[in-house]
Chain A
Amino acid sequence: MTTSAAPALLTTADLTMRFGGVVAVDQVNFTLTSGELRCLIGPNGAGKSTFFKCLTGQLKPTAGTIQFNDQELSGQTTHAIVRKGIGIKTQVPNLFDGLPARENIALSARQNHSQQQSEEITDEMLELISIAGLAHREVGNLAHGERQLVELAMVLAGKPQLVLLDEPAAGMTAEERGRLAAVLRDLAGRTSLIVVEHDMQFIREIATEITVFHRGRVFLEGDVAEIMAHSEVQEIYLGKEANGAA
């Protein structure tokens, strides 16, 4: 939040993404501070996924800037963005299906660490996400929710400064969702996180700060209680027009 005293880690200025005549992201100004956990919410078509794709390099913004640690990210490729210290978890888990969970995580840790360090980090991640029981199982045989957890462990094993998560709780059981929420709450403060999510119950469990997207713009920012109590946000989610929405 811009009100925080912590330094800004990621900022976007007038970020815009147009598809022909459709403006999916419209001059979005957004700031994330170090160690903050921010949830991006909004109804379908609000622009949050497009905004996320601009941050991850999957889309090249039509206009505006994205600054991460005073480096410009706008227009850079996904791999270049990852190399700057951003971990990305996609909506559909992307794993090496033929390998056990442990090797998937170790591969990610190995990117920036020695063999021994990567083994230690792998153990740490298996413990942190509570998936030690899956360590030797081929990820191609895991359930969707378990795959989501393995992918999260993979992302965190790279020790990124900022983690971007696209609907991380999708397809999870209540138990897995609870485990994920606990992990994210635990990470907040040490790592910066942006979570795009639909599941309002899950958001209640993890979020302190929320950014609401509507019609491609930032409609509202605030803490979870404030956002949940906001009548216009409720109307947006119920499909009614928000009074005064841009």
Chain B
Amino acid sequence: MLSNISKDWLGVGFVTAIGLAVLIFVPMLFDLFEVLQMTKYVVLSLFALSLAYIWGFGGILSFGQAGFFGLGGYTFAVSAINMGQTTIPFLMAIAMCALFAAALGYFMFYGRLNDVYLGVVTLVVTLILWKLINHTAGPEFIIGKARLGGFNGVPSIPIMTLPWQPDMEMEPSQMFQYFMAILIIVYLLLHFLIKSKFGRVAISIRENEIRTSLLGYDVRLYKLWIFTIGGAIGGAAGAMWATYQTFIDPNAFSLEVSAKCLIWVMAGGVGTLFGPIVGVIALEYLSLKLGETSFLNNLIILGTILMFLVLLLPKGLFPTFRDLVIKLWQRARGGTSGERPS
């Protein structure tokens, strides 16, 4: 009989194996359009992971995760255009978002903002960034060779190159594999983090912040780290989005992007890492297919489906499916213990 810990790692191993299989076989089996479509899902999955971690494992509900997505995208765009390479700009985007998250988090957590105000502040900061970047259309808003372009956005962003080889632009299939590898690594790193002492304290903060403090932990510092890690991941996703599209505009900061991120995590399953990835793929694929039809506005259909999801599957798609499989497995074996991979 496997212990719960072994079962947990078995679950992670299973998810990683699926990820590796996707990384290897998708470019072989699918055409260019489908590979590009799946690259988009991978980038958005990484973005969803940024919120899945801070919300699901730290109890920090950020309504402004798009702020890091946009900031990462713009930092990458400006530095890649100026430097003519993508490796350092990618790292700069991550560092910039981590720093921004740390600065914002410092004021929020050390200022003892509660959950509601934290949600409002993250949302407002993102909207300020959106407004700010929208007003940079004039020729004076230029950083080196990169014009910010205001609502027109920044075009001609360099395509991701192989790390430290600025002359070797990635083919779409290579970019898919590179991004997929990043997604798998981030998933595994987050899983290790969740299982570490740091992660256990973070979960304890999610469960009861006051009690965690009464156990002698500096809740503010832990939350600051969690938020910073989430910001860095969101920034990485933003940079990947910018190079994937070779274009970025202020919509990256928009309320719609923040809301979508919340919906992916909610639909996929808060408190899991794999669930939000499922949420991205399911809902984005649905949007794509609904976009091909013309008999009803796809937003109405999507909204209705989301409403039913929240009402009928409050735990989310992945936890519901996982629990169902475990129940069927137990029934088949006549056992009682369960497996809960994250």
Residues of A at the B interface (CB closer than 8 Å) are 77-80, 82-83, 88, 90, 94-98, 107-108, 111, 154-155, 158
Contacts and interface: CB of A to CB of B under 8 A. Distances in A.
B217 interface: yes
A82 B216 contact: yes
B145 interface: no
B214 A96 contact: no
Contacts of B216: 79, 82-83, 111, 158
B214 A82 contact: yes
Contact of B215 (A80, A97, A98, A158): A158
Contacts of B215: 79, 82, 107-108, 111, 158
B243 to A, nearest CB: 42
Contacts of B217: 79
Contacts of A95: 208, 211
- Give the 8 A-B CB pairs with smallest separation, nearest first: A94-B211, A82-B216, A94-B210, A83-B216, A96-B207, A79-B213, A78-B213, A79-B218
A90 B210 contact: yes
Contact of B207 (A83, A97, A154): A97
Nearest to A90: B210
B311 to A, nearest CB: 23
B210, B213, B214 interface centre (most CB from chain A within 10 Å): B214
Contacts of B219: 79
Interface of B: 204, 207-208, 210-211, 213-219
Nearest to B207: A96
9 contacts: A77-B213, A78-B213, A79-B217, A82-B214, A94-B210, A95-B208, A96-B204, A111-B216, A158-B216
A26 to B, nearest CB: 26
A137 to B, nearest CB: 17
Given A94-B208, A108-B215, A154-B211, 9 more contacts: A79-B213, A79-B215, A79-B217, A79-B218, A82-B214, A97-B208, A98-B207, A111-B215, A158-B215
Contacts of B207: 96-98
Contacts of A83: 216
A244 B211 CA distance: 42
Contacts of A78: 213-214
Contacts of A158: 215-216
Contact of B218 (A77, A90, A154): A77
A155 B218 CA distance: 17
Contact of B208 (A96, A108, A111): A96
Given A79-B219, A96-B204, A88 B211 contact: no
A105 to B, nearest CB: 12
Contact of B214 (A90, A97, A98): A90
A147 to B, nearest CB: 12
A115 to B, nearest CB: 13
A46 B153 CA distance: 62
Contacts of B211: 94-96, 154
Contacts of A111: 215-216
B111 to A, nearest CB: 13
Contacts of B208: 94-97
Q: Which of A82, A94, A97, A111 has its CB near the most chain B CB atoms (within 10 A)?
A: A94
A97 B218 CA distance: 21
A224 B66 CA distance: 61
